[in-house]
Structure 1
Amino acid sequence: MKQIRNFCIIAHIDHGKSTLADRLIQACGGVTQRELHEQMLDSMDIERERGITIKSNTITLDYRGADGQDYQLNLIDTPGHVDFSHEVRRSLMACEGALMVVDASQGVEAQTVANLYLALEYDLELLPVINKIDLPAADIDRVREEIDSDLGLDPFAAIPVSAKTGQGIEDVLAGIVEHLPPPSGDPDAPLKALVFDAHFDKYRGVILQCRVMEGTLKPRDEIHFMHADRDYKVDELGYNQLKAVPKKQLSAGEVGYVVAGVKSVQDIEIGDTITLVDRPAAEPIPGYQPAKQVVFSSIYPMSTDEYQDLTKALEKLAINDAALTFEKDSSAALGFGFRCGFLGLLHLDVIQERLQREFDIGLVISAPSVSYKLNLNDGSTVEVDNPSYWPDPTNIQSASEPYIKASILIPEEYVGPVMELCRDHRSESQTMNYLAAGRLEVVSEMPLGEVLFDFYDKLKMITRGYGSFDYVPIEYRPTDVVKVDILVNKEPVDALSYLVHRDKARARALHYCEQLAEAIPRHQFKIPIQGAIGGTIISRATIQPYRKDVTAKLYGGDVSRKKKLLEKQKKGKAKMKQFGSVNIPQKAFVSVLRADKD
């Protein structure tokens, strides 16, 4: 067990985690030169295209140290984006140490600090690594200062590397063996294994990624999931070495895969504890937290005959992504669809793109919203995330919405615009911490619903890309939230309804009305588009009608003939307006949201 090191790589998004993992795999001979490609551990096309990691991945490497001993390194590559912090949390539970990667040009950023606190929560040993030292803008001394002042780690223990060129990789491997502790555990104790990830294979079912804490696991063992309360039989187990390598057993301290005939990721819980049926452990491994959906949106197929395809596609995605939740939903304007729960906007964006790319389904997505807690007059409490289920305002006693604690790291010169941006998004408290020369952290408490649409884009714009943003949910606080209905020709369109704070209702309603007025084609009659809270109209836009020149055929005579024809046309238009239906194209629903996001 002294020859094993379990560690993960944590960092802010785009600081070079996946590239560093590639170089470590290459240095340990885990891949041949012919098989080598960028982002070895990222399996999805969307991960490679965007240069981001969405799913944690693990690999077992063999390394011969300077002392001539052979070591087994179990590396877990984690996502950097705030939406997938639950993946990072589970990976940390499976490790004794972590490489804390910091970009030599950008320095310590918001997610770096957030990941540090996560790692300290699980009492991990941290080894700082300064990456991208080959860049012209790299400033190693400044980054060492930031590691000391912001992270409280030893700045001289930080290893400077360039994951792109391979410089300093041997020092990192030596540092892992020297500084990170080996695992502890008793191979003869009752089995305790943590399921920290899983993915679906269409031939073998669910393949579990496990870290054995205590005891020994062998093929043919009867296993029991302590949270899900299910029993299975182990078919195969082994190490992940880019390809699955079967072994005769996994004992305490080791990380590997387990195949046990599990049919769907929904049947088990990621973060669960495995034990043996005939010799169970007394209690599960502590620290398990289920993924919590914070953003909700309705997804409808572009054409109604694709509904069955969308159902199958969501079921297939949910097999691999246990954090995605969905239930049936319907809309008078868009037909049948699903109400889905996501971990954040990037998660929503990734799922939407995968549905369109992997399953070729055109989608219409409703405005994302958060979950509100309502206290009703009859004393009951309900949670509502869908405008369709919003109760009558007269029955609502009080409402509360989720708040977050946002940590924004910026260069000093942008502090004014950033504080103003936070105030525009209903920030309740702002504090500033000076981290290093020219860099500061703005800590702000604000509603999660305000961050959903354009906050991150605006932050990147006003800080010219140098601002970084991270948040943690804190609590629910009282709010004055209203449901805004959009009326087209005096008829409400349920797919366009949304929940918003009363102060922001008119501005958003005006935006919706203007976008719809541009997207809906003109008809033979005037179409009013209105935003309304209950019976109160708060915004309006009008689509002017086509006008047929009914007097063109006249060539003289009394003016009363002209008036008679115009009067007849007027009556016809009034009748048409009363009975005519407005054709709302699908692009109108998309245009409202797209412009809102931009």
Structure 2
Amino acid sequence: MEKFPRERIRNFCIIAHVDHGKTTLSDRLLQMTGTVAENKMKEQILDSMDLERERGITIKAHPVTMIYYFPEEKEHYQLNLIDTPGHVDFSYEVSRSLSACEGALLVIDATQGIQAQTVSNAFLAEKHRLVLIPVINKIDLPTANLTLVKKQLEDSLAIPADEAIATSAKEGIGIDQIFKAIIQKIPPPPSFPDQILRALIFDSVYDPYKGVILYVRMFSGKVKKGDKILLLSSNKTYEVKEVGVFCPKMVPEEALYEGNSGYIIANIKNTAEIKIGDTLTWETGGTTTALPGFQEISPMVFSGIYPLNSSEFEKLKNAIQKLQINDPAITISPESSVALGSGFRCGFLGLLHMEIVQQRLSREYGVDIITTYPSVIYKVSLRSGKTIEVDNPAKLPDPSYIDHIAEPYVKSYLIVPSENIGEVMQLISEKRGSCESTESLGHDKVIMHCYFPLNEILVDFNDKLKSITHGYGSMDYTPDEYRISDLVKLDILVNGEPIEALSCIVHSSKAESRGRSIIHKLKERIPRHLFKIALQAAVGGKILAREDIGAIGKNVTAKCYGGDITRKRKLLEKQKEGKKRMKTFGKVDIPQDAFLEILKTDTKQS
């Protein structure tokens, strides 16, 4: 590929709410620039994972370089597109992509209008000072309402309606106007007069043969095979073995120049050496100042992952380590539980991220796993004045040492139909949330600005919201501050022994209902033993709920035919003594499916 002058390079991404046609639009752009041959074209071409194709969502950011002939100027332009995920859990991917671009196409579904993540992504793009080009997609559908969407654009995002490009990515309508807008509205990459190598690492993947492949956006200078490069955050140096661009497969090039997006292979064996968002420069004569505008990835949701069969621990360990290489957002630490054996405490960016990781473990690596109830990071202030962070209920200190516990809150946008406001307000209150303000979005939708404890919206909030609004409600959230709450550790005791895997940190107002729910499920799942089993839910030393599983009766007097009654009494007394001893030394076998049942559904009812 020839070196393009900076003025004829455009770097842009596509941002949108889930399922608004972002991936279909990128397919069409690739097709119309001839980047992918017609005979190799397929839907969702940038979504390489089976899970992405199956669920219709983008999980990883995918860069691609296109060459477009612009007939008005009779010139070729190099267009670098980074296809980004739309789901809130992958907003870190979106943030990375935005840091590598000068403009963004904001895609809005003409049938659904502006949704929560449309608003969130638009604000994120403005924060990165990108040029926004609004694209109203799916205008070919009979339910499309172009006028309403244009009004929503002006009312909620303050974007002039006449800037919006009406398209149908599926039918190929309006694609030429999109290309024209990209070239005329998005500025070329900024210039650095010193021409020192500056490249932003916006992603990385691991290849078993080539090691870590860095996805980079070149801001200045050039890099070629044989160059010695330096990573600013770790101060480590490497020799470049290959550089190239994505078309959309990797295509080796002689060099990468300013404004390009591409890849660098440099014999990096371990992804731990790479910090996403880091600046890459020359080993000698390079820059000492990092490129701006990047955040650390920090997990928000934690869960224990254990092999269903304890003999598969090594298989799980290898699978998680391989997965972490391609998804650096997962954090891992070893953990063991009396009930579940050896496993790992894993940190995820959100519930969907957790679900995707679990599915990838079982599909791509063939490991059967069991996961504990998701939890968040709590800040626990002790009476001694020390503050500790707790992501696992088992590590929560004794209540007598705790002064107070603070939990993470999130700031959330909910976009719901006006007719469902009452029911949504009730759901918000159930989840200990508060609605700070509302604003209308057209005549039939409302944006609600709310605050929630993150722990409350982890499991079933989105499902309930979709159910109440018949699928028309949407939400997006960003982390906010920590607030002090009345939180307690709920323990589940079986014959007085706490079961660590079932412990959870809950608000005191929900402890009893959650405890009752768990022990009720346990009672259904634990088989009867030869002795009575007491199931209890407790907070500290206070028992909140109790269920008993009765003993199996055994007729020890069956062998006595007639004779003196004292003989029968003697046998019954002996049985009584035996049962007492059995209760003292007897072990309660809790079947695996009891854990599975509780950890799957846990207390969605609470």
Please confirm whether the aligned pair reaches a TM-score higher than 0.5, indicating the same fold.
yes
Shorter-chain TM band: over 0.9
- In structure 1, the partner of 2:49 is 44
> 5 Å matches for 1:66-465?
66-67=71-72, 68-186=74-192, 188-465=194-471
Q: CA deviation at 1:327?
A: 0.7
Take 1:362 and 1:532, find their aligned partners in 2: how far apart are those partners? 31
| Paired residue type of 1:138 | A
Per-residue CA distance 1:185-233 (angstroms, 9 max, x = gap): 2375211110111111111111111111122222211111111221111
Is 1:589 aligned with 2:595? Answer: yes
Deviation, 1:596, is: 2.8
Deviations 1:223-245 (A, max 9, x none): 11111221111111111102222
CA distance in 2, matches of 1:12, 1:182: 26
Alignment of 1:423-572 (within 5 A): 423-550=429-556, 566-572=572-578
For these two proteins, the number of residue pairs brought into alignment is 598
Whole-Å separation in 2 of the counterparts to 1:562 and 1:456: 62
Deviation at 1:523, TM superposition (A): 1.7
Query: Secondary structure, in 3 states, of the residue corresponding to 1:13?
Result: coil
Deviation at 1:140, TM superposition (A): 1.1
Equivalent residue number for residue 59 of structure 1: 64
Contact residue 435 and residue 448 of structure 2 kept, 8 A:
no
Distance of 1:524 and 1:167 partners within structure 2: 73
Counterpart residue type for residue 589 of structure 1: F
Measure the CA separation in 1 of the matches of 2:44 and 2:484: 45
TM-superposed deviation, 1:483 = 1.1
More moved, 551-560 vs 569-578: 551-560
Show structure 1 runs of 5+ residues with no match: none
The residue type equivalent to 1:41 in the other structure is L
Using the alignment, how far apart are the partners of 1:359 and 1:244 within structure 2? 25
Distance 1:142 1:454 in 2: 31
On the 8 A contact 1:454/1:597 being kept in 2, the answer is no
How far apart are the structure 2 equivalents of 1:242 and 1:446?
40
Q: CA deviation at 1:301?
A: 1.0
Q: Give 5+ residue unaligned stretches, structure 2.
A: 1-5
| Deviation for aligned residue 1:568 | 4.4
Q: Which residue identity does 1:123 align to in structure 2?
A: R
The amino acid that maps onto 1:182 is P
Matched-pair contact (CA < 8 Å) for 1:551–1:562: yes
Q: Is the 8 A contact 1:187 1:216 kept in 2?
A: no
CA offsets 1:243-265 (integer angstroms, 9 cap, x no match): 22222221211111111111122
Structure 1 residue 555, shift from structure 2 partner: 6.4
The aligned residue for residue 27 of structure 2 is 22
Q: Deviations over 1:437-486 (max 9, x none)?
A: 11101111111111112111111111111110111111111112111111
Q: Distance in 2 between matches of 1:561 and 1:142?
A: 90
Query: Do the aligned partners of 2:428 and 2:435 also contact (CA within 8 Å) in 1?
Result: no
Task: Name the CA distance, whole Å, in 2 between partners of 1:150 and 1:432.
Answer: 12
Shift of residue 156 of structure 1? Answer: 1.5
Q: What's the CA shift for 1:572?
A: 3.2
Determine the C-alpha separation between the residues in 2 that align with 1:145 and 1:354.
41
Superposed CA deviations along residues 147-201 of structure 1, whole A, max 9, x for unmatched, are 1111111212211112222222222222222222221223752111101111111
Measure, in 2, the Cα distance between the counterparts of 1:180 and 1:318: 35
Residues 50-77 of structure 1, C-alpha deviations (whole Å, 9 max, x = no match) = 1111110010011111222111111111
Cα 1:559–1:461, aligned 2, differ >3 Å: closer, same or farther? farther
SS of 1:232 mapped into structure 2: strand
Alpha-carbon offset, residue 520 of structure 1: 1.6
Look up the equivalent residue of 1:593 and give its one-letter code. L
Range moving further from structure 2, 171-180 or 407-416:
171-180
1:31 equivalent in structure 2: 36
Map of 2:3 onto structure 1: none
Classify the secondary structure of the residue corresponding to 1:34: helix
Residue 576 (structure 1) aligns with: 582
Give the match's secondary structure for 1:2.
helix
1-structure distance, mates of 2:165, 2:568: 89
SS in 1 for 2:7: coil
On the 8 A contact 2:514/2:603 being kept in 1, the answer is: no
Secondary structure at 1:147's aligned position in 2? helix
TM-score (norm 1): 0.97
Task: Tell me by how many angstroms 1:559 deviates.
Answer: 6.8
- Residues 454 and 596 in structure 1, CA contact (< 8 A), matched pair in contact too: no
1:11 is matched with which residue: 16, 27, 30? 16
* SS of corresponding position for 2:170: coil
Cα offset, 1:10, TM superposition: 0.1
Contact in 1 for aligned 2:19/2:57 (Cα 8 Å): yes
In 2, are the aligned partners of 1:523 and 1:546 still within 8 Å (CA)?
yes
Measured in 2, the distance between the counterparts of 1:180 and 1:137 equals 31
Please give the alpha-carbon distance, in whole angstroms, between the structure 2 residues aligned to 1:380 and 1:283. Answer: 36
Work out whether residues 187 and 251 of structure 1, in 8 Å CA contact, stay in contact via their aligned partners in 2.
Answer: no
Alpha-carbon distance between aligned partners in 1 of 2:152 and 2:270, rounded to the nearest angstrom: 45
Q: Is the 8 A contact 2:243 2:255 kept in 1?
A: yes
CA distance in 1, matches of 2:180, 2:566: 100
1:390-444 CA-partner distances (Å, limit 9, x unpaired): 1121111121111111110001001001111011111144321112111101111
> Which amino acid is 1:285 matched to?
L
CA distance in 1, matches of 2:380, 2:551: 43
* Contact 1:232 1:260 survives alignment (8 Å): yes
What amino acid does structure 2 have at the position aligned with 1:478? I
Q: Match of 2:337, as an amino acid? A: S
Contact (CA 8 Å) 1:483, 1:497: kept in 2 or not? yes
Contact kept in structure 2, 1:453 and 1:596, CA below 8 Å? no
What is the percent sequence identity of the aligned residues? 50
| TM superposition score normalised by structure 2 | 0.96
My pick for the range that moved more, 357-366 or 56-65, is 357-366
The structural deviation recorded for 1:597 is 6.8
Take 1:568 and 1:461, find their aligned partners in 2: how far apart are those partners?
Answer: 58
1:575, CA displacement in angstroms?
A: 2.7
Contact 1:227–1:269 under 8 Å retained in 2: yes
Per-residue deviation at 1:551? Answer: 5.2
In the alignment, what sits opposite 1:2?
Answer: 7
3-state SS, counterpart of residue 410 of structure 2: strand
* 1:501-528 alpha-carbon deviations (Å, 9 max, x no partner): 1111111111111111112222222211
